């Protein structure tokens, strides 16, 4: 029996790697071929999904303080997770963030270092940002932009939001008041005009350009490609090839809701599994009872199985237990 274990993170309680390892431990047996492929959708966890860090750089944090940003370089490929340099958690969460001052400068510093280190293909996972600076800080750190000529700069996005919609959709999550959101909208509008004048690229209504407070749009203005994060990661780890010969796929995430089937990991895995007629079990921390789950997917909720307190405090132990339950009910 060949089983692919490919969850997303359980935000705040288990990384995708930890979740995959726990589920695999629960189903491990000499009679089973278990393959773990931790996944992400372009947001937090992208770095781990693509091999984990092997470099740490001191860069400028979102509010100006120095931070230690993990990133990866292997051959001519670099993988950068913007949350490591410009993330909301580095600013102390929404209650301590300054949404007007927060900058992507540090992310640009990591991108520049990756280029200086010989990277010719640079993947930037965006998500979990403190800033809504439209990527201006990052671009300033990357200058002169001409040195990125011929470099394949790829932005893995976890949302399809356009540039000017970023403040209203994500501003409240970053601690912005209504007045600050209006100011951020005006800033991005002026910035879009500047990008058009300087680089000849109109990011205003570009799909995904609003990801990470417009960082995606700023990078697109200087030549980056904006792509669906899940699709990129699935291709990099050869997920479809692995699933094509599987007997069972186990995926998962912290919360299952309607967004799970809108570019997120669980929905993306389900689409691939359907192509190969492979059954899917989605193990989740909690599930929205109003969400309709597509045919062919079984859902196991840790909260429903173990109660809220244990699900949050002993997530990996619960995942190990669930793994063994799944096998006992589905394996021959």
Q: For the chain, give every domain's residue range.
A: 2-39+238-330, 46-230
What per-residue confidence (pLDDT) applies to 100? 97
Tokens standing for 267? 């929905």
Provide CATH code, domain 46-230: 3.90.1510.10
Tokens standing for 292? 């309709």
CA distance 27 to 328: 9
Tokens standing for 40? 């992400």
Could you confirm whether domain 2-39+238-330 is CATH 3.40.50.10350? Answer: yes
Q: Provide the pairing of β-strand 297-301 with 121-125.
A: unpaired
Q: Look up tokens 């570009």; give the residue.
A: 206
| DSSP string computed for 203-251 | -TT-TTTTTTTTHHHHHHHTTPEEEEHHHHHHHHTTHHHHHHT-SEEEE
Angle of the 315-330 helix axis to the 16-27 helix axis, nearest 10: 40
What per-residue confidence (pLDDT) applies to 332? 42
Q: The whole model's pTM is what?
A: 0.90
DSSP letter at 173? G
How many Cβ atoms sit within 10 Å of the Cβ of residue 204?
16
Q: Provide the pairing of β-strand 297-301 with 152-157.
A: unpaired
- For residues 92-102, one letter each, b for 16 or more C-beta atoms within 10 angstroms of the residue's C-beta and e for the rest, the string is eeeeebbbeeb
Q: Do domains 2-39+238-330 and 46-230 have the same CATH topology?
A: no
pLDDT truncated to tens, each residue of the chain (332 aa)? 999 999 999 988 999 999 999 999 999 888 899 999 999 999 889 999 999 999 999 999 999 999 999 999 999 999 999 999 999 999 999 999 999 999 999 999 999 999 999 999 999 999 899 999 999 999 999 999 999 999 999 999 989 999 999 999 999 999 999 999 999 999 999 999 999 999 999 999 999 999 999 999 999 999 999 999 999 999 999 999 999 999 999 999 999 998 898 878 999 999 999 999 999 999 999 999 999 898 889 999 999 999 999 999 999 999 999 988 887 665 44
Break the chain down into helix, strand, coil percent, rounded to 5.
Answer: 45, 20, 35
The number of residues making up the chain comes to: 332
Comparing CA positions, the residue from 139, 117, 261 lying closest to residue 194 is 139
Tokens standing for 93? 């969460």
């Amino acid at each position: 029996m060949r089983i692919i274990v490919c969850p997303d993170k359980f935000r705040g309680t288990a990384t995708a790697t930890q979740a995959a390892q726990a589920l695999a431990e629960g189903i491990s047996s000499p009679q089973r071929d278990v393959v773990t492929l931790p996944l992400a959708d372009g947001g937090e966890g992208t770095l781990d999904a693509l091999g984990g860090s092997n470099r740490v750089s001191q860069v400028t944090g979102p509010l100006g303080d120095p931070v230690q940003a993990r990133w990866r370089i292997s051959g001519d490929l670099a993988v950068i997770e913007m949350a490591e340099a410009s993330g909301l958690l580095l600013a102390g969460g929404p209650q301590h963030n300054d949404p007007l001052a927060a900058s992507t400068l540090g992310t640009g510093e990591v991108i520049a270092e990756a280029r200086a280190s010989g990277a010719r293909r640079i993947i930037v996972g965006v998500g979990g940002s403190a800033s809504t600076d439209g990527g201006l800080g990052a671009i300033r750190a990357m200058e002169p932009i001409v040195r990125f000529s011929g470099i394949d700069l790829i932005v893995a996005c976890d949302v399809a939001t356009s540039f000017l919609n970023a403040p209203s959709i994500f501003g409240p999550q970053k601690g912005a008041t209504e007045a600050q959101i209006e100011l951020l909208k005006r800033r991005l509008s002026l910035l879009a005009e500047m990008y058009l004048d300087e680089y000849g690229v109109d990011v205003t209504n570009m799909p995904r350009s609003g990801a990470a407070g417009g960082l995606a749009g700023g990078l697109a203005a200087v030549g980056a490609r904006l792509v669906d994060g899940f699709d990129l990661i699935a291709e990099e780890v050869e997920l479809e090839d692995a699933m094509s010969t599987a007997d069972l796929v186990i995926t998962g995430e912290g919360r299952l809701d309607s967004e799970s089937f809108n570019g997120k990991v669980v929905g993306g895995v389900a689409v691939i599994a359907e192509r190969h007629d492979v059954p899917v079990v989605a193990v989740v921390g909690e599930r929205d009872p109003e969400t309709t789950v597509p045919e062919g997917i079984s859902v196991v909720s840790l909260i429903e199985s173990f109660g809220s307190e244990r699900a949050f405090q002993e997530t990996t132990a619960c995942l190990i237990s669930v793994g063994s339950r799944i096998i006992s009910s589905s394996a021959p």
